[in-house]
Chain A
Amino acid sequence: MALTVVSQIFPREMIPAVLPLIEDKLQHSKEIIRRKAVQALYKFYLIAPNQVQHIHDKFRKALCDRDVGVMAASLHIYLQMVKENASGYKDLTESFVTILKQVVGGKLPIDFNYHSVPAPWLQIQLLRILGLLGKDDPRTSELMYEVLDESLRRAEINHNITYAILFECVQTIYTICPKSDLLEKAAKCIGKFVLSPKINLKYLGLKALTYVVQQDPNLALQHQMTIIECLDHPDPIIKRETLELLYRITNGQNITIIVQKMLDYVRQSKEEYTIINLTGKIAELAEKYAPDNEWFIQTMNAVFLVGGDVMHPDIPNNFLRLLAEGFDDEKEDGQLRLYAVQSYLSLLEGEDTFYPQKFIQVMSWVLGEYFYLINDGDPEIIITKLYRLLKQTFVTSETKAWIMSAITKMASRIPCSKTVDKLIQEFSTSLDTCMRQYAFELKHLCENKELMKNLLPLDASCETVVDASLSFLDGYVAEGLSCGAAPYKPHHQRQEEKLSQEKALNFEPYGLSFTSSMSSSGFTGRQSPAGLSLGSDMSGNSAEIGQKDCLKLDGVRKLWGKEGYLPKKENKTGKEDKTQPAPEDSILVGHVDDPPLIQPEQQVVSLSEEEKEKQQLASTLFVGLGTSSTVSLMGKADTMTQKFKRKSKINETHTREEASSIQNFATLPFSPFPDITPNDKENFQGNEHLELRKVSLNSSEVLEASVSLDRSQSLTEAGLDEKLSDYRLSTSSLFADSNIEVLQPSQSAPKTVANKVSLSLCLPEELADHPHSEIVELCSSDVLTVYSCKVWTDDCSLLVLFVANKSPSPLKTVNLVFESTEHFKIFENLSCHFPVIEAQSIESCRKSVQLEKICTTGILSGFVSYHLDMDTHLEFSLIFSLSDFIRPMEITTEDFGKLWLSFSNDVKQNFKMSPQESLLIALNTLKQKLKLHIVEIIGNEGLAACRLLPSVPCLLHCRTHARTLSLWLRSSCSALPDSLLYQCQKVMEES
């Protein structure tokens, strides 16, 4: 009885106390006790997998127990463990197969039978485990064919429970590596299910079919008629399941009808969850397979109408992005947009119609952005329509803000409008402060049409997205730098500052441009303020963009800091001067397209050596880039000479740049940068910028140095940095020498590509400042290789993927898609698309990965597909561990105390220490490996803190006493301490 209680409710804190008792019970003579003990351990495994790790071999013993019940109980543990890590238990496949064989063969005691079927639930459990084990593994799968065949054959009695087994069998057969005659049998089985008059069986058959068509769409063809019957089935559940099935087999040809069916269902459905789910699917299908523009817009309109305000916010966002970014074909875009505008206008025609808020938001955005595409229409009419919407009571204030910004955009294009004046008058006295603010903005902007036009250029939606993430701060920083009075701020402060600026920009474009025109510095010339406000309008101030923002801004700042090492100060100011008068758009483009703009001649000299060596080590593009790897081989003693070499290079680049055009000036911060990176890596780059962020004193020195012309000073500065590297936090381990030789190619490789191909934003340079992992090959084929690199920035974990085309011909439509997992979340979407990758070149993309559900390690898998003669599909997977998402958290001891008391979730564990180990050493290891921040060390106690991205704090308290080290972790998140403790344990064992 006590054991039952244990396995039902049990606090995680008490496990260590009870564990030995339960372990004893595993040897008990009575099987029921043994069974209960195993069940209790299963519970422990569920709540704290790390604490029962040492008794895995006991589970194995339980699996071989002579009693069936005990064995069955242990299966639950195995199912869980195999789910988490299938490769670790391949060796057990044979035992599972034998057990299943015995069960199916009726070797169990008769009382395990249920309606004369031997232990059906046990069979199902075993089949499930086998399915997991045999997935993508032909060798393991081979072991199972026989027994699967056997169970298919045996389960022919007409009873519900045998159907359950059959269903599981079919699923397993289609999960493991396929074998033709088994597949055939399974398909027959499904046929029987689907055709059955029993409704439950029909449901099961449809479910199986849904699962199976992912592997083999032809099967659906065989049952076409049945499926169509099911679509009109009176039972909505059957209908729903059929739609699910259709969703899986959708393609370009059948999309129209399937989406039609789905929409019909959604319209009838009242349940919120179904609506959310199905609208999401429709939108996805529509984006993927839309046959033509007209249909696409119509469908999306229908989705917005029925989905209303409950649907997932991604749908409107994706839709708008698609409209804004468009396809490759300029004409196609125009048509799509034109059609969208027209359809919205006709929708708004009707008086007093009710539309969901999100739909209105979408409409107003599109109208504001693309109204000019309609030649014959009068903007005045559109404005009147929007104005009428504003007066409606059902429109929320958020939507009103969208409408207002649309009107503002339109107002900038037409000479003057009565409606606008009326609107300004009316809302200037509005009670809603937001509206009032918008009205005032509009008023001021109307008074100064020229400025307004500059702020709100036509068709800028696309640029602004990028712009928001890049440019506006570099002018600011440049200014600061040239004055020599801009000390770097600690990271969090900087972020706040940025936020406040962003806000100011968003709400008061006028005010800001006013000040900037006063100061007559680079601001007015730049489009950023407007871009930012537009950008945030569009993204609805979404946090995602915000995150991207600060990330890229980091990059920009550092870039400028780096640029400080350039020998000439005038050069820099010169650049500023020149960028100012340049037309806005070209600057924008300049910034966005920086890497591709680097002119070939400029690069030839610096790259030719690399290229030669690349050919020598032709195996892969990455490893082949030799100069840098020789650097790391030379080691630290040689870095001085390397530096001199670097300087000469800079001079080279510099002279070249003087000759080049304005646009090339814009690229200036980029071009010398990669030249520097490979060489000074060990001394400057990594530690320096981390240092900059952490120690502001030190950083201001560096800044001064960067402004000054004296090169030697920058060298001494480097020396200083070397000394300072002692203060470095965890990064030291990350920049171990072994890493560096792999890291460097990452910077130079894309650069070599840059001169051949115009790359999209391929900026490993800015990321290279952050600690990052080695570049690893993920998967490769004859023509294509994918590499990955994790970059640990301050506020997110970035995954940079490089896709290299090794073939002599360009690759078309290369798609990189991640499978979604419960543990991780990938921004902004799961896939990455390259329309074309030129021959012998590399494209890169980056994704920000976030930990959704806490786990110690998790696998992120996905695939690359490309088209060359035929479609090819390459799968890959990457492992992320918890430590990838841990960052130091800097707090004071007082704060630590307060936080400590406020957290309720804690775990505690003792470790044995070897005699030469001390608290300090242990803490240092933890600090280095797990990126903790050490708060304070008091006597034999130490405090450390870290945060799980984005901002879940975790505190660690450790204490040494007579050769034991007790770690005590607390956090606001319940799963975090446990997993982190496990990481600590691993780290301690390794060291």
Chain B
Amino acid sequence: MIKFFLMVNKQGQTRLSRYYEHVEIPKRTMLEAEVIKNCLSRSKEQCSFIEYKDFKLVYRQYAALFIVVGINETENEMAVYELIHNFVEVLDRYFSRVKCFIMFNLDRVHIILDEMVLNGCIVETNKNRILAPLLVLDKMAES
């Protein structure tokens, strides 16, 4: 099961965070800081899975952007690793160019993420279906 989903830039600032298990707000910042420190300290040759406390971190780097997912041991690391990529591909398709848009359209990113992951489970990976509700929304906004 997925515990949290983080998007962090290289400076260690959190761009997006989504928790699927209740974590108190002050603890979140602590956790994020540690998680980022852990990920940033690793080189490219090292493996993308980290054991951290009683759960595991799976991270992937896209230019200056890190995406970190916290999972428990029942989850398949590689599947989550690919899920991150899938997520980025969806963003890519919707925004055509990812990075700068994410900052200004956080709500959209959240909607996409919520379509894909719910209560810590991967619920949808079909790109067309993930984007369908969002496109409906856009159409409504235009008209």
Give residues in A with beta carbon < 8 Å to B.
1, 4, 7-8, 32, 35, 39, 42-43, 46, 69, 72-73, 76, 111-112, 114, 119-122, 124-125, 160-161, 163-165, 167-168, 199-200, 202-204, 207, 234-235, 237-238, 240-241, 273-274
Does B82 lie within 8 Å of A161, measured CB to CB? yes
Q: How far is the CB of A170 from chain B (nearest CB, A)?
A: 11
Q: How far is the CB of B3 from chain A (nearest CB, A)?
A: 14
Q: How far is the CB of A356 from chain B (nearest CB, A)?
A: 22
Q: How far is the CB of A954 from chain B (nearest CB, A)?
A: 22
Check A168/B76 contact, CB under 8 A, given A235-B47, A238-B47. yes
Check A121/B49 contact, CB under 8 A, given A7-B119, A32-B132. no
Q: Which residues of B contact A43 (CB under 8 A)?
A: 118-119
Which residue from chain B places its CB closest to the CB of A241 in the assembled complex?
A: B51
Q: How far is the CB of B43 from chain A (nearest CB, A)?
A: 9
Q: Given the complex of chains A and B, what is the CA–CA distance between A124 and B123 in angstroms?
A: 12
Does A32 lie within 8 Å of B133, measured CB to CB? yes
Which residue from chain A places its CB closest to the CB of B48 in the assembled complex?
A: A200
B13 close to chain A: CB less than 8 A? no
B96 close to chain A: CB less than 8 A? no
Which residue from chain B places its CB closest to the CB of A39 in the assembled complex?
A: B118
Q: Which residues of A contact B48 (CB under 8 A)?
A: 199-200
Q: Which of B41-97 contact A (CB under 8 A)?
A: 45-54, 76-79, 81-83, 85-86
Check A4/B114 contact, CB under 8 A, given A121-B83, A200-B78, A204-B78. yes
Q: Which residues of A contact B50 (CB under 8 A)?
A: 237
Which residue from chain B places its CB closest to the CB of A244 in the assembled complex?
A: B51
Which residue from chain A places its CB closest to the CB of B56 in the assembled complex?
A: A237
Does B47 lie within 8 Å of A199, measured CB to CB? yes
Query: CB < 8 Å: which of B46, B47, B77, B79 contacts A120?
Result: B79
B108 close to chain A: CB less than 8 A? no
Check A119/B125 contact, CB under 8 A, given A32-B133, A114-B86, A204-B78. yes
Query: CB < 8 Å: which of B53, B79, B124 contacts A69?
Result: B124
Q: A4-B115, A120-B79, A122-B125 given. 10 additional CB < 8 A pairs?
A: A39-B119, A39-B123, A42-B121, A112-B125, A199-B47, A199-B48, A200-B47, A204-B78, A207-B77, A234-B45
Q: Given the complex of chains A and B, what is the CA–CA distance between A8 and B21 in angstroms?
A: 11
Q: How far is the CB of B134 from chain A (nearest CB, A)?
A: 11
Which residue from chain B places its CB closest to the CB of A204 in the assembled complex?
A: B78
Check A8/B126 contact, CB under 8 A, given A46-B119, A121-B83. no
Q: Which residues of B contact A203 (CB under 8 A)?
A: 47, 49, 77
Which residue from chain B places its CB closest to the CB of A115 in the assembled complex?
A: B82
Which residue from chain B places its CB closest to the CB of A160 in the assembled complex?
A: B82
Does B49 lie within 8 Å of A164, measured CB to CB? no
Q: Which of B7-42 contact A (CB under 8 A)?
A: none
17 example contacts (A-B, Cβ-Cβ < 8 A) are as follows A1-B133, A8-B118, A32-B133, A43-B118, A69-B126, A112-B125, A120-B125, A125-B122, A164-B81, A167-B76, A199-B45, A199-B48, A200-B49, A200-B78, A200-B81, A235-B46, A274-B51
Q: How far is the CB of A152 from chain B (nearest CB, A)?
A: 16
Q: Can you list, as one digit per residue, whether each of B118-143 has a CB less than 8 Å from chain A (1) or not (0)?
A: 11011111111100110000000000
Check A237/B45 contact, CB under 8 A, given A7-B118, A164-B82, A200-B81. no
Q: Which residues of A contact B49 (CB under 8 A)?
A: 200, 203, 237
Query: CB < 8 Å: which of B81, B123, B124 contacts A160?
Result: B81
Q: Given the complex of chains A and B, what is the CA–CA distance between A238 and B77 in angstroms?
A: 14
Which residue from chain B places its CB closest to the CB of A206 in the assembled complex?
A: B47
Q: Given the complex of chains A and B, what is the CA–CA distance between A967 and B64 in angstroms?
A: 56
- Chain B contact patch, size range: 20 to 34
Most buried by B among A7, A42, A114, A202: A114
Q: Given the complex of chains A and B, what is the CA–CA distance between A168 and B46 in angstroms?
A: 23
Query: CB < 8 Å: which of A8, A121, A167, A273 contacts B119?
Result: A8
Most buried by A among B50, B115, B126: B126
Q: Which residues of A contact B132 (CB under 8 A)?
A: 32
Q: Which residues of A contact B122 (CB under 8 A)?
A: 121, 125
Q: Given the complex of chains A and B, what is the CA–CA distance between A112 and B76 in angstroms?
A: 20
Which residue from chain A places its CB closest to the CB of B111 in the assembled complex?
A: A4
Q: How far is the CB of A820 from chain B (nearest CB, A)?
A: 15
Query: CB < 8 Å: which of B47, B53, B123 contacts A237?
Result: B47
Q: Given the complex of chains A and B, what is the CA–CA distance between A274 and B119 in angstroms?
A: 28
Q: Given the complex of chains A and B, what is the CA–CA distance between A43 and B126 in angstroms?
A: 21
The 5 closest A-B pairs by CB, nearest first: A164-B78, A164-B79, A199-B47, A161-B82, A235-B46
Check A111/B118 contact, CB under 8 A, given A164-B82, A200-B81, A235-B46. no
Q: Which residues of B contact A119 (CB under 8 A)?
A: 125-126
Does B76 lie within 8 Å of A164, measured CB to CB? yes
Q: Which residues of A contact B127 (CB under 8 A)?
A: 111
Q: Which residues of B contact A164 (CB under 8 A)?
A: 76-79, 81-82
Which residue from chain B places its CB closest to the CB of A238 in the assembled complex?
A: B47
Most buried by A among B85, B125, B133: B125
Most buried by A among B53, B115, B121: B121
Q: Given the complex of chains A and B, what is the CA–CA distance between A273 and B79 in angstroms?
A: 25
Q: Which residues of A contact B46 (CB under 8 A)?
A: 199, 234-235, 237
Does A114 lie within 8 Å of B129, measured CB to CB? no
Q: How far is the CB of A183 from chain B (nearest CB, A)?
A: 20
Most buried by A among B49, B82, B115, B125: B82
Q: Which residues of B contact A35 (CB under 8 A)?
A: 124
Q: Given the complex of chains A and B, what is the CA–CA distance between A630 and B105 in angstroms?
A: 81
Q: Given the complex of chains A and B, what is the CA–CA distance between A352 and B81 in angstroms?
A: 50
Q: Which residues of B contact A125 (CB under 8 A)?
A: 122
Which residue from chain B places its CB closest to the CB of A79 in the assembled complex?
A: B121
Q: How far is the CB of B90 from chain A (nearest CB, A)?
A: 11
Which residue from chain B places its CB closest to the CB of A42 in the assembled complex?
A: B119
Query: CB < 8 Å: which of A72, A165, A241, A273 contacts B123?
Result: A72
Q: Given the complex of chains A and B, what is the CA–CA distance between A161 and B47 in angstroms?
A: 16
Query: CB < 8 Å: which of A32, A76, A235, A274 contacts B121?
Result: A76
Q: Which residues of B contact A161 (CB under 8 A)?
A: 78-79, 82
Q: Given the complex of chains A and B, what is the CA–CA distance between A883 and B125 in angstroms?
A: 42
Does A121 lie within 8 Å of B125, measured CB to CB? yes
Does A111 lie within 8 Å of B128, measured CB to CB? yes
Does A240 lie within 8 Å of B83, measured CB to CB? no
Q: How far is the CB of A123 from chain B (nearest CB, A)?
A: 10
Q: How far is the CB of A456 from chain B (nearest CB, A)?
A: 43
Q: Which residues of B contact A163 (CB under 8 A)?
A: 78
Q: Which residues of A contact B45 (CB under 8 A)?
A: 199, 234-235
Q: Which residues of B contact A274 (CB under 8 A)?
A: 51
Q: How far is the CB of A189 from chain B (nearest CB, A)?
A: 13
Does A73 lie within 8 Å of B79, measured CB to CB? no
Most buried by B among A43, A165, A235: A235
Q: Which residues of B contact A42 (CB under 8 A)?
A: 118-119, 121
Which residue from chain A places its CB closest to the CB of B86 in the assembled complex?
A: A114
Q: Given the complex of chains A and B, what is the CA–CA distance between A76 and B121 in angstroms?
A: 8
Does B47 lie within 8 Å of A202, measured CB to CB? yes
Q: Given the complex of chains A and B, what is the CA–CA distance between A690 and B120 in angstroms?
A: 48
Does B125 lie within 8 Å of A167, measured CB to CB? no
Q: Which residues of A contact B128 (CB under 8 A)?
A: 111
Q: Which residues of A contact B115 (CB under 8 A)?
A: 4
Check A273/B53 contact, CB under 8 A, given A32-B133, A111-B128, A204-B77. yes
Q: Given the complex of chains A and B, what is the CA–CA distance between A418 and B126 in angstroms?
A: 83
Q: How far is the CB of A373 from chain B (nearest CB, A)?
A: 42
Q: Which residues of A contact B85 (CB under 8 A)?
A: 160
Q: Given the complex of chains A and B, what is the CA–CA distance between A168 and B129 in angstroms?
A: 25
Which residue from chain B places its CB closest to the CB of A193 in the assembled complex?
A: B78
Q: Given the complex of chains A and B, what is the CA–CA distance between A186 and B79 in angstroms?
A: 18
Q: Given the complex of chains A and B, what is the CA–CA distance between A465 and B83 in angstroms?
A: 55
Q: Given the complex of chains A and B, what is the CA–CA distance between A120 and B76 in angstroms?
A: 12
Does B123 lie within 8 Å of A76, measured CB to CB? yes
Q: How far is the CB of A676 from chain B (nearest CB, A)?
A: 52
Q: How far is the CB of A705 from chain B (nearest CB, A)?
A: 58
Q: Given the complex of chains A and B, what is the CA–CA distance between A7 and B86 in angstroms?
A: 22
Q: Which residues of B contact A165 (CB under 8 A)?
A: 79
Which residue from chain A places its CB closest to the CB of B114 in the assembled complex?
A: A4
Q: Which residues of B contact A124 (CB under 8 A)?
A: 76, 79
